[in-house]
Amino acid sequence: MSLTQAPSPVRPKVLVARRIFPEGLARLEEHCEIDYNDQIHPLSNAELANRLADKQGALVTGSEQVGTQALSQASQLQIISNIAVGFNNFDVAALNAKHVFGTNTPDVLTDTTADMAFALLMATARRVCETEHWLRAGHWQNWELGGMLGVDVHHSTMGIIGMGRIGQAIAKRGLGFGMNILYHNRTQLDAATEQACQAQYVALETLLRQADHVVLVMPYSAASHHLIGREQLALMRPTATLINIARGGIVDDAALIEALQKKVIFAAGLDVYEGEPKLNPGFLTVPNVVLTPHIGSATAKTRHGMMNLAIDNLLAGLAGKRPPNLINPEIWKA
Ligand code: 8YV
């Protein structure tokens, strides 16, 4: 360095806990010193703790568990940015105890995830995957009047459990199909939002009894763990479908497999599973379930949007500004 050159400012150290798109990495490298886990598998809690020890920031995905153990050695950490809207992988009390800001990525994935709910709903109701496998296996010999019958989506009743941004976007899609919309939520929506979605608030039990298609879109928490189990499945119609694009653990997977085997309900469409990416092998033995590997937000545009928003949040926090999507504003001092 020549004597006239100013010393370069100290760049914050940031852990990028999972492989991201190259342009995101380039953007971060402009501002930060990066410790990059260029892998598609998540770091263990112990590895995460170890690598967070000397960091000011971190970019993680929904599968890194950010709790007491991961934060145990973090003495300089200011912000952890989740590349996901759901943040059940964050222990907010543990973040608050260490005065670490947490952020998520709402809005950018709303429509893409609502589209996926509809893709699963259509495929499940009309047996798209089951019949395709049957055709590929060479079983198609004749057209049959009563062959491969599904259930209608149009002009049916959809019951949405969890009426946040994504739930509302699903409801609006349902209106295009002439559907009657019921919903259940922690709190009833205001009248204007209900009107915009033409949705009627009902008790959970009523929704399960009356809906032709039950769609799960609420966050996972201790309160929503196994919200749908054997008892709730028994309330549903034998012609009904169950769609889960929310989180594994909201449905009791063993109870659902039993209900599918016994035709307690018609079929299910699942994007998320208890203990994913492991799958209860029982799902592979029942034909009346459509299974996708947690791809609700997986379009190129949306995943780039999520990454960029997560980086916006991270850089704002590191610069001492309030991140746009702060999940623990209670520790923010303006
Ligand atoms: C993510 C999701 O892809 O945003 C969420 O909450 O479930 C998905 O969009 C996933 O959590 C990985 O971070």
- Backbone dihedral angles phi then psi of residue 90, each to the nearest 5 degrees: -100, 130
280: left (phi over 0), alpha (psi -120 to 50) or beta: beta
Same fold across 13-108+300-331 and 110-291: yes
| Mean pLDDT for the chain overall | 96
What DSSP string runs through 120-189? HHHHHHTTHHHHHHHHHTT------TTTT-----TTSEEEEE--SHHHHHHHHHHHHTT-EEEEE-SSPP
Closest residue CA from atom 1 of ligand 1: 84
For residues 287 and 267, give the distance between their C-alpha atoms in angstroms, rounded to a whole number: 9
Ligand 1 centroid to 84 CA: how many Å?
A: 4
Q: Which of 247, 274, 322, 330 is catalytic?
A: 247
Ligand 1 centroid to 306 CA: how many Å?
A: 9
The confidence band for 333, taking pLDDT boundaries of 50, 70 and 90, is confident
Ligand 1 centroid to 141 CA: how many Å?
A: 42
- Backbone dihedral angles phi then psi of residue 200, each to the nearest 5 degrees: -110, 130
Give residue limits of the domains in the chain.
Answer: 13-108+300-331, 110-291
Reply yes or no on whether the pLDDT at 4 is more than 70. Answer: no
Percent of the chain with pLDDT over 90: 96
Task: Work out the average pLDDT over 226-250.
Answer: 98
On the 0-12 / 13-18 / 19+ scale of CB atoms within 10 A, 7 is exposed
Over the Cα atoms of the chain, what is R_g? 23
Taking alpha carbons only, the member of 258, 270, 271, 212 closest to residue 231 is: 258
Which residues are bridge partners to 81 per DSSP? 59, 103
| 294 in active site | yes
> Per-residue pLDDT tens for 268-306?
999 999 999 999 999 999 999 999 999 999 999 999 999
Reply yes or no on whether the pLDDT at 120 is more than 90. Answer: yes
Reply yes or no on whether the pLDDT at 125 is more than 70. Answer: yes
Ligand 1 centroid to 297 CA: how many Å?
A: 7
Element (H, E) at 103: strand 101-103
Please choose from 89, 90, 109 the residue to mutate so as to test ligand 1's pocket, defined by most ligand atoms within 8 A of CB: 109
> Per-residue pLDDT tens for 42-60?
999 999 999 999 999 999 9
Percent of the chain with pLDDT over 70: 97
Beta pairing class for 79-82 and 180-184: unpaired
For residues 89 and 214, give the distance between their C-alpha atoms in angstroms, rounded to a whole number: 25
Average the pLDDT over each of 7-11, 100-104, 156-160, 294-298 and give the range with the smallest value. 7-11
For residues 71 and 289, give the distance between their C-alpha atoms in angstroms, rounded to a whole number: 39
Dihedral sign (CA 251, 241, 107, 36): positive
The confidence band for 6, taking pLDDT boundaries of 50, 70 and 90, is low
Q: Which of 19, 209, 276, 304 is catalytic?
A: 276
Task: Work out the average pLDDT over 180-208.
Answer: 98
DSSP state of 225: T
Closest residue CA from atom 5 of ligand 1: 84
| 226 in active site | no
pLDDT of the residue at 186: 94
* Ligand 1 neighbours by CB, cut-off 6 Å: 61-62, 83-86, 109, 296-297
Enter the tokens of residue 159: 């019951």
Enter the tokens of residue 92: 């907010």
Ligand 1 centroid to 57 CA: how many Å?
A: 20
* Ligand 1 nearest atom to the CA of residue 84, by list position: 4
| 186 in active site | no
DSSP state of 294: S
* Ligand 1 nearest atom to the CA of residue 83, by list position: 13
Enter the tokens of residue 211: 């809906």
Domain 110-291: CATH architecture, name and number where available: 3-Layer(aba) Sandwich (3.40)
The confidence band for 1, taking pLDDT boundaries of 50, 70 and 90, is very low
What DSSP string runs through 20-75? --HHHHHHHHHHSEEEE---SSPPPHHHHHHHHTT-SEEEE-TTS-BSHHHHTT-S
The confidence band for 5, taking pLDDT boundaries of 50, 70 and 90, is low
Q: What CATH number belongs to 13-108+300-331?
A: 3.40.50.720
